[in-house]
Amino acid sequence: MEFVILAVVIAVVAVAAIAGLVVSGRRRRQLPPKSQAPVITAPPTPREPAVGEEAAPPTEEPRRTVEEVELPEAEAEPEAVTVPETIEEEAPALEVPEPTAGRLVRLRSRLSRSQNSLGKGLLSLLSREHLDEDTWEEIEETLLTADVGVAPTQELVESLRTRVKVLGTRTPDELRGLLREELVELVGKDADRTVHSTKHAEGPAVVLVVGVNGVGKTTTTGKLARVLVADGRKVVLGAADTFRAAAADQLQTWGERVGARTVRGPEGGDPASIAFDAVKEGIAEGADTVLVDTAGRLHTKTGLMDELGKVKRVVEKHGPVDEVLLVLDATTGQNGLIQARVFAEVVDITGIVLTKLDGTAKGGIVVAVQRELGVPVKLIGLGEGADDLAPFEPGAFVDALIGD
């Protein structure tokens, strides 16, 4: 029994010794490594202290006495600056419009399209060897297509048939001469086509320019001013179209180019009042002619057409209105005749201005509109240039249609 107890004690002591050895071994492995010596770097270069840092001790600088300090030399007084005299800008030179005499002859090439549709077409048909009924129907159709109108077409065809039958032989020169005589007669060679713009005892001649929107009425008024200036007239312009934006500016620009003064008012103002003031100004300046550009009114609006009549009545308080020129777009054809008819009911039309006759317009509209209103065509527009408005001359017009 004693040996058993002794063995147990020895075993316990042995286990305790072994456990102690294990614990000491673990402690040795877990010891921290030895600390390395710190690396010492050089001190930073001295610098200016930043905000919050202590300033370095001030260093003493050599000081100078008052006698050693050199004072700067007194600056010389600045020289007086000479202000150059104001140079007045020279007014732009006024344009000199082309003379109106023979202007249509110079612009005859602009009628080339109308020439192809009317003059050359008729000459070609009349030059056929046999002029049967079918040929005469083609001649009639050519005239109607050229906007001559039904009644004038019938008159011309009857006259041509009679003269061709009497003539017998038909050489090209004879046919051209025959056709020229008939067309000049149809256009009207004896009508008074003068634009009455001469100053009279009551004051300057007054010309009202009327028409619907889009026919080039304001531009035509400006070009007409150039025509009159070229003929030696002193002109005053009245910008009575107060409903279209920039119409007054446009007219004033036209006037400034030839030295014609423009009387204008506020946008949307009373057109009759502006027209009245324009005539009054024309009297004061001793002008020869006052051109009044009226608003482009739709001929279907009764109230606006009545206002046009009011403009004419107000202007007549100064004296008579010498001309009322109706501007028509020649390319509108028969629709232009409807406009002409309504305008004639409101004011007494004394003359017609056909614009855009150099485009797709038919030359026969000259005949048709004169027959419709019983008043002559006095001016025709043959282009976009400033001097492309020409006094109408029947002979030169027909010559341009037929060609050489």
Handedness of CA 233, 375, 381, 120 (dihedral sign): negative
Sheet with 351-355, edge to edge strand ranges: 261-263, 235-239, 289-293, 205-210, 323-329, 351-355, 377-381, 389-391
The stretch 238-266 carries a mean pLDDT of 89
Return the pLDDT at 38.
Answer: 46
Give the whole-angstrom CA distance, residue 196 versus residue 219: 20
Condensed to tens digits (0 to 9), the pLDDT of residues 12-57 reads 777 777 766 655 655 555 545 554 544 444 445 555 555 555 555 5
Give the whole-angstrom CA distance, residue 390 versus residue 224: 9
Closest to 136 (Cα-Cα) out of 117, 162, 167: 162
Dihedral (C-alpha) 59, 60, 62, 66: value to the nearest 10 degrees?
120
Condensed to tens digits (0 to 9), the pLDDT of residues 118-144 reads 777 888 888 887 888 998 999 899 888
User: Are the CB atoms for 194 and 100 separated by under 8 Å?
Assistant: no
The mean pLDDT value of the chain amounts to 79
Tell me if the pTM is above 0.85.
Answer: no
Ramachandran bin of 216, using left for φ above 0, alpha for ψ from -120 to 50, beta for the remaining angles: left
Condensed to tens digits (0 to 9), the pLDDT of residues 77-100 reads 555 555 445 445 555 577 877 777
Higher pLDDT, 57 or 160: 160
Burial pattern 62-77, b for ≥16 Cβ within 10 A else e, equals eeeeeeeeeeeeeeee
Give the whole-angstrom CA distance, residue 151 versus residue 183: 14
The residues with which 291 forms a beta bridge, in sequence order, are 207, 237
Closest to 232 (Cα-Cα) out of 199, 257, 201: 199
